[in-house]
Structures are given as C-alpha cells and as structure tokens.
Structure 1
Amino acid sequence: MPELEYLNLEHNSLGYFLESEKYSATNTTVLKDINLSYNGIDKLNASVFHGHPCLEKNNLSNNFLTDIHFDISHLKSLKIMDLSNNRIQGFGSRTILHLNKLFDDSNLQLNLSNNILKCSCDNIKFLQWMEERSVHFSEKNRIKCKFRNETSVLLTTFTNTLLELEKECGSYTMLIILMAVAILTVFIVIISGLVYRYRWTLRYIYYMTMSKYRRYKPEDTDHNFSYDAFISYADEDKTFIVNECIPILEVQGGMELCIHQRDFLPGEEITNNITNAIHESRKTICIIKRSFLDSYYCMFEFNIARMESIYSRGGTNILLLVFYDQLRAQDLPLVMLELVQQDSYLEYPDDEQGNIVFWDKIKEAIAL
C-alpha cells in the first residue's frame, strides 16, 4: 500500500510485537497519520518510525509509555504527537534534546494530558523545560503535576507552584550539600584522630610488613636474637658509645650490640634498618640527652621499640632509658614520662664507683 496516508491500528495488542519489530517493511512511506492507541505499548522499537518523512500526526495515547525511547529526531513534518493517558512522569535529558530540535524546526504540539507528572526536586529540570516550552503543549488544563503528599496542580496554574518548588529544591540542595560537607568533615576528623592516635602502631605494622617482604630474615623467637641490645643514640653522642658502651658491654661483657653507624645494612632504607635492628635485638637502650629528644630518628627508634614491646613481645617491655643528662619532667614526651614513672630507666652517674654499679645494671637489664 504505497499510497496509504492514514493507518489505524488502535485497540489491538501490538505492544509486545512493536517492542522489537516494525509495522511496515518498506523503507519509505507517505503515511501522514498513525494511530497506535490502546495497544498496551510500554516500549517501542527505536527505529519504528524511520522512513516516515511525511508523518504529521502520531497517536500513542492510552498506552503504558514512561518516556519517548524511540527515535523521533527525523520527523520534521510532525505536527501532533498524542501521548495522553500514559504513565509519563517526566522526560529524560536525551528526549528533551530531541524535542527541542523538533520544536525549533516546527510547531509540534505535544499532548501529555492525563499523565501524572512528578513534582519533585529530581524532576525540576523537566518541569522548568515544560514551563519554558509551554506553547508546544496542548490540553494544558488536563496536565497535572503530583507532589509527594499526593496533592496535584494543573499546568495552567503551575508558574507560581514552580517558583515555590525551585525555592524549596534550592534550600533542599543547599541542605544536602551542607550535610554532606558536615558528615565529610566529621569523618575526616575522626579518621585523622584515629590515624594520629595510632600513628606509631600503623607505622610499625607498615615497616614490619615492608621488612618482611623486601628481604629474607629467619623467624625470630624470644630465645633467638641477632643482637643482645640495640643502642639508640644521637650522632652527637657517638663518643660515649665508642669509648664506653662498646668496650664495656661488647669487649668486656661479651654482648653483641647493634650500632647503627656500624651494623646497619648499606643501601637499605633507614626506617627498615631501624625496624629490623629493634626486631632482632633482645633489648633497646636509649641514651637520652637533649640531642636525642631533638632527633627525629632517635624518637622514631624509641616509638618503634614501644610498638615492638606491645605487638611482638606480648607486652614485655624491651626499652631501657639511660638519662645521660639531667632533664626536667616537662621536657619529656608523655609516653617517655610513663616509662620513667614505671622506673624503667637509669641515670648515668659519671663517677668511678657509680659507673661500676651502672654498667652492672645495664648488663642485668639486657640479660632479662
């Protein structure tokens, strides 16, 4: 029927068929009027109207359509499109784009009567678009917009309602943004606080993990250490280490000390060297002077040794603090002051008789 201009297929059950098929096998038709109403259509084949350059009226009323998912961008002659009595709540951005092109090229009239449009913030762009393009909508007195509270308004009296909705949505959007920022801020503060609170625990776990996978080390036990003690000191105090610690504890006492300037593995990151040395030493001895407290790596060694005590030695204290200088309590970090209050420290006497007792105490502490 190459000359057919009007095709009426209403009151059939073509919905399922037209979802994937077309009603015409020809490439181009001269159809001007198509009636597909009352066919239970909820979705149409995207190309169902391809080859319809003359189409002026398209009746898709009384179906189950929720949007225009089929292609109409080429229908330059289309004057009336009846989508009344469907299930349309709003159009997607792609549909609006195609309709805008048709509106610009023709005087297309779109009938959305007896569709219950959605009056909500997530649909406000569609509603604003309808207000801007209202001349292209027919039967305005039968187009309703429904709010969440089940009340509805007609499109003919919609201008004031839209202004109120825009204000409400603007406030709602700002509230969401403020709430999101507040929640994000609280989350960041909590995470930052936890990270700061457990920073040395996290660093210890990180460095122990790195140490485990970067080079081979045999598993240590409480009775098998590479060193008897790791000596933690500032570089400014190496004279004390060379002249007293090494001769008395190693040469005379037969102990194996880990001295960073002598025993650290060349080419290895210093943090890994420190972590390995503490993990492989029975005890960690900190030579406390002002220079120790001011040194980043000395305090790093002190804190890693604390973590070693907690997480690898079952809570056994492996730290021994040796105060070479007299320091005030307020000059010490709180975690160090706790150890001092537990009497886990010695003071260097710097006199001949006192030195004998001092070094005996050191040896005794290492051997425990």
Structure 2
Amino acid sequence: MANPSPSSPANEYVDLFLFACIEEVLVGDLFVAKISSGFSSDSCTNELKYVSLSDNVLHTWTGPITNVKKLTVVDLSTNFCSNISKKFFSPDFVSLKYLLLQNNLLGLVLPTDVQGEIFQNLYNVVYINLSKNKITNIPNLLFKKQYNLKRLDLSENMIWDINYKLSHMKNLMFLNLRNNRISMLGEYAMTELDSIAKMKKNLTIDLGGNNLVCNCESLSFVKWIVNTPTNLHRREEYECKTSQNTIILFRNPKELYETILKECMSYEGIIIGITTGILIFAFILCGGISYRYRWKLRYLYYMVNIKLHQSEYKSANTDERLYMYDAFVSYANEDQAFVHNTLLRELERYGGIQLCLHKRNFLPGNDIATNITSAIHNSRKTTVIMSSNYLASYWCMFEYNMARMESIYESNCENILFLVFYDQISACNLPLQIIELVHCQSYIEYPNDEYGDVVFWEQLKRAIKSY
C-alpha cells in the first residue's frame, strides 16, 4: 500500500478502518495528528500483524482500536503523545506481543492510571518499551495484567524507585532502568525482584547510569546487590557516590558493603555512646542535685503553697514577722503522753508559752506536709523531742528537716531549732544531720531527778522565749 501524499487528509488525521485485509501497515514519517477509530471492516477479517505509526505527531490516542486480533507488533514511538485513552487498547489486542512506545510524553498520563486500565487488555505482550517518556512515577498496578512480560524497557526516564508490582511477572527476563534517577532501591522493590529471581534464575536488571549512593542510608541496598539472585547487567560499571562525595565502582560489592558497614557502625556507635553518656551524666547530675537539695526543694514547694494562701504579717514598728505560736513541738506519737501531760503543763500553763501540737493545732482537710510546713513557718521556734521513736518516724524526720530549712532560708540562719533528748541515744545511732546540729548548736537532755526537772524547765523556757 502506497503512503499518502503530504497534501492528503491522512497527514492531519488517520481513520484506520481502511486497513483491513492486509498484513502490514507502515505510516511512518508523516504528520498525523490523531488516532480515533479502529481497524475494522465488514468485508473480511483483519489480517494485520504489524503496524508502525512511528515518527509522527500522534499526540492523542483515543481509540478504541478494534478488529486487530492477529496484530502482534505495534510501533507508536516518537509521536510526542501525552494523552492515551484507557480504552485505546481494546480486548481485540489479544495477540499483541511487542509494544513500542518509546520517545513520547507518556510520563504525563501514566502516573494517573492508578488502576492499571491502559494496559489491562494486553495479556500476552512480551515486550514493552517505554523509554524516553519523561516518566517520574509508575502506579503500582500499571502492569497488573502483564503476566507473560519478558522484557520491560524503562530507560532514559526520571524514575527514582521501583514502586510498582512486578512479582506476578513470572517470565520477566530483563528490566531496563538505565539512566534514570535511582539512588537506591527500596525494600519493596528488592523484595519484588528477588521473588521473581528465585523462580527464574536468568532475571537481569540494568541500573547503570543512575545516581546510586553508598552510605549508611543505602546500606540495605548495597547488601542486596551483594546477595541478590538477580543478575545486575554490567554491574562493575555502576558508579556509586559515597558519604565523602567520592565516586567508586561496584567492582567488588562485598568489600564495598563491609567498608560502609564499618563506617556506619563506627558512626552509630559513637553517636549512641555519646548520646547515652550525655543522658546518663544528665540523669546522675539531676539525681545528685535533687538528692543534695531534696529537703530544700520540698521546703520551697510547700512554702510556695503556703504563701499562695496566706499573706506575710509584718509588725507596725519593725520588720519582724508576727508568729502565731511561740514554739512548734515535733514529737513521735509514742511520746505524746510526755508532751500532752508534762510539757503542756510546764510550758503553757505555768510558763505562758503558746505551743503548736500536731494533735491539737493542725487544720483538718490540709495534707500532713502542708500542715507541718505551715506550723513551723508560723512558730518562732521548733522544739524537737528527740527519742528512738522519733528517729524511726518518717514524719518526725520530715518535721526536723523542714525546721532546718526554715532556719536556713527564712530565719536568717537564726537558731530556731532546739533539741530535747528525751531518751539516751548513742551518737552512732544518730543521723549525720542531727550530729551536725548537736555539734554546732546547744541542746538539752531531759533529767530523771526532781531538782534537775526544775533546772530543765527553766532552761527550756528561756530557750523558747529568747529571740
């Protein structure tokens, strides 16, 4: 069949129902704009086996193309096509084996075919050429029906990874990804390729001309190159960019992998070690500071709560505080008989000293720690009835330490803490902070004789009233 002349209507539009009872159609090197109808005829069965429409300007492929059940080769390369209908390849393409679509602009339309409808009727195709189509991304299901595909050419595009399904292509022999923008293959791609290679030992993939990287981030990819059953076409020529921005070749991938692994382990170990060390140091430092100033921190916490709920009373003529009590008595519950029967009688009834006792003066509804801190803060002195029971009580030691903090931070280091040893306690049984107070401040022991009692109570009254 003779080619139409440049002035004929075929230069602008091809209505291909004319090509009926022939075996080969060549419409190359013409300025054809659009393919819209099918290869159909009512007079006979279409015998077309080879169609070449390359080197035209078929920018839109609408179709559907029908009555092509014997067609085995279609060449639509170099047509600047950017729009292909999902119905263009009709179910009549049952015998199509070779599909040449290279050097078009299908990268603008293929990424939108997320359901794989464009090629869904091409069950028996064995070779697809999609090179030079400016493809950046291929949907996962684009080739979902190509079970018999043997060769897939995606070279000279802008693909960055294999994120489309391949494992169903049991007969795939060659996947050409040369000269794309692949830096490494993801886990999905490596798994898909290995699943085919384990069944078909001659699977080959070409990754040459890509921007491969060899660093800690791509370590799994380099390991895959070492261990994969997939044949890597001319692997020794693959160029790989290291973390030092140097280019090396995959001539010995195992040695390269071990080198990267050592570097990554070294960096990882250093980073983990430094980070762990800093965290441990910070934890120990914070723990040490918190333990060293634990009573101060607790005292400040409770003092803030107290001062939020009560104002600071000032006298009219001086800057001294006005206290609610002369002394707060800190004692163990086991010693309350002495405190309530003897101490109260001698100091309050006979001495005129106002005492604060937790059994009598603590406000109901407040937590114990707040009541203790408030009582100490609102008392001029704190008298500790020291005994073995006192040392064994958590809340007694809490009262002692809160009183010690009060004397340091609220009373200008005045001696507001006074010890009364109710029992005979060995120095080795006393906590360090109490021994320090005994050494630097005065204390008094409760006597067992009548004359000593008179002296004891007089000294205690003077100690509480002195300021």
Answering whether residue 437 of structure 2 is matched by residue 355 of structure 1, we say no
Residues 113 and 139 in structure 1, CA contact (< 8 A), matched pair in contact too? yes
Residue matched to 2:136: 42
Among candidates 392, 404, 421, match of residue 324 of structure 1? 421
State the one-letter code of the partner of 1:8: L
Q: Which residue of 2 aligns with 1:56?
A: 150
Whether contact under 8 Å (1:348, 1:358) holds in the other structure is no
One-letter code of the match for 2:100? N
Q: 3-state DSSP class of the match of 2:384?
A: strand
Cα displacement (A) at 1:127 = 1.0
Shift in CA distance, 291/324, structure 1 to aligned 2, threshold 3 Å: same
Query: Structure 1's 184 and 244: CA in aligned 2 closer, same or farther, altered over 3 A?
Result: same
Given the alignment of the two structures, is residue 82 of structure 1 paired with residue 176 of structure 2, yes or no? yes
- Give the whole-Å Cα distance in 2 for the aligned partners of 1:332 and 1:56: 86
Within 5 Å, give how 1:256-295 maps onto structure 2.
256-263=354-361, 270-271=368-369, 273-275=371-373, 277-278=375-376, 281=379, 283-289=381-387, 291-295=389-393
- 1:163 counterpart = 2:258: yes
| Pairwise CA distance, 1:189 | 1.3
> Which of residues 120, 145, 153 in structure 2 aligns to 1:27?
120
Q: Cα distance 1:81–1:281, how it changes in 2: closer, same or farther (>3 A)?
A: farther
Question: Is residue 2:395 matched to residue 1:297?
Answer: yes
Instruction: State the SS of the aligned residue for 2:112.
Output: coil
- How many equivalent residue pairs? 357
Tell whether 2:331 aligns with 1:233.
yes
Partner of 1:94: 188
On the 8 A contact 1:53/1:77 being kept in 2, the answer is yes
Instruction: Specify the SS of the correspondent of 1:167.
Output: helix
Matched to 1:303, the amino acid is: N
Change (3 A) 1:255 1:323: closer
Contact kept in structure 2, 1:250 and 1:257, CA below 8 Å: yes
Give the secondary-structure state (helix, strand or coil) at the position aligned to 2:356. strand
Query: Counterpart of 1:104?
Result: 198
Give the aligned residue type for 1:162: Y
Higher-Rg structure is: 2
Do residues 142 (structure 1) and 237 (structure 2) align?
Answer: yes
Identify the match of residue 432 of structure 2 among 324, 328, 333: 333
> Of Structure 1 and Structure 2, which has the larger fraction of its residues in helix?
1
Unaligned runs of 5+ in 1: none
Whichever residue aligns with residue 320 of structure 1, its letter is L
2:120 maps to a residue whose letter is N
The structural deviation recorded for 1:111 is 1.0
Indicate conservation of the 8 Å contact 1:14/1:40, yes or no: yes
| Secondary structure of the corresponding residue to residue 238 of structure 1 | helix
Rounded Cα–Cα distance in structure 2 between residues aligned with 1:360 and 1:18:
99
Q: Which residue, 280, 288, 298 being the options, matches 1:185?
A: 280
After TM superposition, give the deviation of residue 19 of structure 1 in Å: 2.7
The answer for the alignment partner of 1:18 in structure 2 is 110
Deviation digits for residues 166-225 of structure 1 (CA, Å, limit 9, x no counterpart):
33434444334433332232122112112212322443466678x88xxxx992233387
Structure 1 residues 254 and 284: alpha-carbon distance in aligned structure 2, compared to 1, 3 A threshold: same
Distance 1:261 1:170, change over 3 A: same
Relative contact order: is structure 1 or structure 2 higher (C-alpha 8 Å, sep ≥ 6)?
1
Secondary structure of 2:212's partner? Answer: strand
Deviation by residue 1:276-306 (Cα, 9 ceiling, x = unmatched): 5445656533234455445432221122334
Partners of 1:149 and 1:307 in 2: how far apart?
59
- Show the counterpart of 2:312: 222
Normalised to the residue count of structure 1, the TM-score between the two structures is 0.79
TM-score by length of 2: 0.64
Contact kept, 8 Å, 2:197 with 2:230, in 1: the verdict is no
Deviation at 1:339?
9.1
CA distances 1:38-73 after superposition (whole Å, capped 9, x unpaired): 233222222222222222222121222221122323
Secondary structure class of the residue paired with 1:50? coil
Paired letter, 1:333: L
Corresponding residue SS for 1:12: coil
Alignment match, 1:250: 348
* One-letter amino acid of the counterpart of residue 27, structure 1: Q
More displaced, 18-27 or 260-269?
A: 260-269
Q: 8 Å contact 2:351–2:461 — kept in the other structure?
A: no
Contact 1:13 1:40 in 2 (8 A): yes
Structure 1 position 89, deviation (Å): 1.9
1:264–1:163: structure 2 CA closer, same or farther, 3 Å change rule? same
Relative distance call for 1:98 and 1:258 in structure 2 (3 A) is: farther
